[in-house]
Each structure stands twice: as C-alpha cells, then as structure tokens.
C-alpha cells in the first residue's frame, strides 16, 4: 500500500475483485480469438489486431484492479472509466444487438462495481479523508 494512505474499505476491495474478473475475462476472449486464428479463420489480421487491443486494455484493467485492491487510490479512475465503457457495451448488447439478457447482466455488473466504488467509505478513502475519532466528536 502507499504510505500515508489507509487500507481501502471492503466495498473498494469488492469492486477491485469484480473488476479483476472482467479483466481476466477480456484476456480469455483475446486468447479465444488467437485460437480461432490458429484454427484457420479467414482474415487473420483484423482478428489478431482485436486480440492485441483486448490484451492491452484488459491487461491494464487487471493491473488497475490489483493496484486498487492493494490500496492505490490512483487506480480508482481507470476502473471507473472501464466500467463506463463496458456499460456502453452492455447497452449495445441490450439494444442494437438484440441480446437483452447479456446486456442486462453486463449492465447490472457494471453498475454494481460503480456503486461499490462510490460508497461513502470509498469516496472518503479516495479523497484521503479520515474519520473523526469517537472521542473527538462533538455532542
């Protein structure tokens, strides 16, 4: 953890764990695309390009989630941006792609992670605010 920063609250750690699952899922998708190319899929270039982008993006997501779990407040922003981007993907799956079940589940997942990151304890932790000790509270 960073010096001077208290350990992240449980809600932030839960959000980091859920985000790491997303990152690992994205890397698994990239591996599946590479396997598809190795099995002889036509137009290998665009598929490998997409796999490379997925590895870069979700590798960064996995890294940010690990750093967030360890207590680095700077990793919160990439996790939030990822959730917002994936929320757009969930909307597209729900509407234009006509996959309402997948879109709904993906959207709910992203909203749960965002709610966990924006709890009162999570915001206080991210801002570096500490709670007032019980003895110091005014009556």
Q: Decide if 124 contacts 131 (C-beta within 8 A).
A: yes
**H helices within the chain, ranges in order?**
10-38, 44-70, 76-94, 100-117, 120-127
pLDDT in tens, 52-67: 999 999 999 999 999 9
pLDDT in tens, 88-117: 999 999 999 999 999 999 999 999 999 999
Q: Decide if 28 contacts 129 (C-beta within 8 A).
A: no
Buried b (16+ CB within 10 A) or exposed e, 16-26: bebbbebbeeb
Predicted pLDDT at 42: 84
Query: Measured between alpha carbons, how far is 21 from 32 in angstroms, rounded to an integer?
Result: 16
Mean pLDDT over 37-57 rounds to 92
Q: 131: pLDDT confidence band, cut at 50, 70 and 90?
A: low
Query: Measured between alpha carbons, how far is 123 from 139 in angstroms, rounded to an integer?
Result: 25
Domain ranges of the chain: 10-128
Q: 43: pLDDT confidence band, cut at 50, 70 and 90?
A: confident
Predicted pLDDT at 88: 94
Phi-psi category of residue 71: left, alpha or beta, with phi > 0 → left and psi -120 to 50 → alpha: left
Nearest alpha carbon to residue 55 among 77, 28, 95, 82:
28
Is the pTM here over 0.75, yes or no?
Answer: yes
pLDDT at 41 over 70: yes
């Amino acid at each position: 953890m960073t010096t001077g920063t208290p350990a992240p609250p449980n809600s932030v750690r839960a959000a980091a764990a859920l985000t790491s699952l997303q990152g690992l899922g994205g890397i698994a998708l990239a591996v599946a695309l590479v396997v598809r190319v190795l099995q002889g899929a036509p137009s290998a270039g665009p598929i490998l390009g997409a796999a490379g982008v997925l590895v870069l993006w979700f590798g960064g997501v996995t890294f940010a989630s690990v750093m967030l779990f360890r207590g680095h407040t700077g990793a919160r922003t990439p996790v939030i941006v990822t959730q917002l981007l994936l929320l757009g993907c969930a909307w597209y799956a729900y509407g234009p792609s006509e996959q309402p079940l997948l879109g709904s589940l993906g959207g709910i997942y992203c909203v749960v992670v965002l709610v966990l990151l924006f709890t009162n304890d999570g915001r206080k932790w991210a801002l570096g605010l500490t709670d007032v000790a019980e003895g110091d509270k005014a009556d």
